[in-house]
Amino acid sequence: MQSPFIDVKPSSKSKRHKNDKPKVVVNRPPEKKPLPPGKKQIPVTIFTGYLGAGKTTIIANLIKSVPESYKIAWLKNEIGQTAVDTELANASNTTLTKEMLQGCICHVMLGALSGALDELVASDPDRIIIETSGSATPAPVVWEIRDDPRLFMDGVVTVIDAINFSGYLDKSFTLKMQARFTDLILINKHEGMDERTLDQNLDDLYEINLDTPKIYTNRGHVSPDVLFGLDSTLFMTEGAVADGERTADVGHQMMEVDLLECTLNHVFDLEDLRQNLSSFPKKNFYRIKGVVNTNAGPHVINVAFGDVALVKIKEKEIVARLVCMGEELEDHIEKVSEVFHVEVEHIIYTPRKSHS
């Protein structure tokens, strides 16, 4: 019987790929260097996908759906300097959450990944989930996992925003690579779209990757039976890694988006904040993420291409902070200052770099 979490949505494209649902099995870890007696390899699942695709929401829902006895360690990567999602992760019953900031773990922070993995392994989890930044390429991260005798590479999962995929395909250096090099594609945010629009938006996806299984999420929910046990065969050799990195630029993470970052001292009216967040132009503000104090308690802000979500978190002291990602954000610093009650000089602006 099909899992209630899975929506394998029929469309005119459905006959163009081999399977709507991946084979789900319990896999033997690949052979590596011997481990100490009593130790077992820890499976690793990597999530990729562009800004705002819904990776964090899917992972948070996934963690809620596994048994309480199943321990998951969650490593999150952001290119900015502002840690936000840890608050949401802590509210989602994670066992251990670590954020790596100021660069992509695929290139700029790859050297720091080993130390982060040491911390995650030390927590003795049943599984490690790595959520890469929206501009990350998967090959170097997969190779790092394959080279660690304590771990085995279970699967790379790419999350696709069905509404915005086609519009941002040409804006992102890595979006095509994420869609091509993956074991499973999750088509997210498709609810409410008619079949014709959905097919048009995903035409490029099928051109990039026809054969990889594609699953439609159910409002950000996917069964762990689908996501775990993929037994990835990606990047098994150095040659495969070289192929995956053939057109990569090690500085690509700074070519994707502008950043605006600041800390906040204001206590917001929740409904006024919701309305103000809706007023930011989505063609410029791809993502707005933050942790704020409101008249209804502390909340996490999560705005993706105009879609506003405010999630209440446990009552506690927080460091209120904000990060905006997008293009031509310098033109909107005054608006950010006004809406979030912060002086312009206290807003850190990091422009994306030219490809030249």
What digits encode the pLDDT tens for the residues 127-170? Answer: 999 998 776 778 888 888 998 999 999 999 999 999 988 877 77
Q: Are 80 and 323 in contact (CB under 8 A)?
A: yes
pLDDT at 166: 83
Hey, what CATH topology would domain 257-350 get? Hypothetical Protein Yjia; Chain: A;domain 2 (3.30.1220)
Q: Are 257 and 286 in contact (CB under 8 A)?
A: yes
Name 8's Cβ contacts closer than 8 Å, sequence gap at least 6. Answer: 2, 20, 21, 215, 216
pLDDT at 81: 53
Q: Return the domain boundaries, the chain.
A: 6-252, 257-350
What digits encode the pLDDT tens for the residues 319-334? Answer: 898 999 899 999 999 9
pLDDT at 19: 36
pLDDT at 36: 58
Q: Are 243 and 311 in contact (CB under 8 A)?
A: no
Hey, what CATH topology would domain 6-252 get? Rossmann fold (3.40.50)
Q: Strands of 282-338 (E only): list them.
A: 285-294, 297-304, 307-312, 321-326
**Weakly modelled stretches of the chain, pLDDT under 70:** 1-39, 78-96, 99-112, 135, 171, 173, 238, 240-255, 315, 353-356
pLDDT at 207: 92
Calpha distance 305→265 (Å, rounded)? 25
User: How do beta strands 127-131 and 184-188 pair?
Assistant: unpaired
Category of 188 on φ-ψ map: left (φ > 0), alpha (ψ -120 to 50) or beta:
beta
Calpha distance 74→356 (Å, rounded)? 35
Q: Are 259 and 102 in contact (CB under 8 A)?
A: no
Q: How far is CA 76 from the centre of its chain?
A: 8
Per-residue tokens: 62: 């996934």
pLDDT at 97: 74
Global pTM value: 0.78
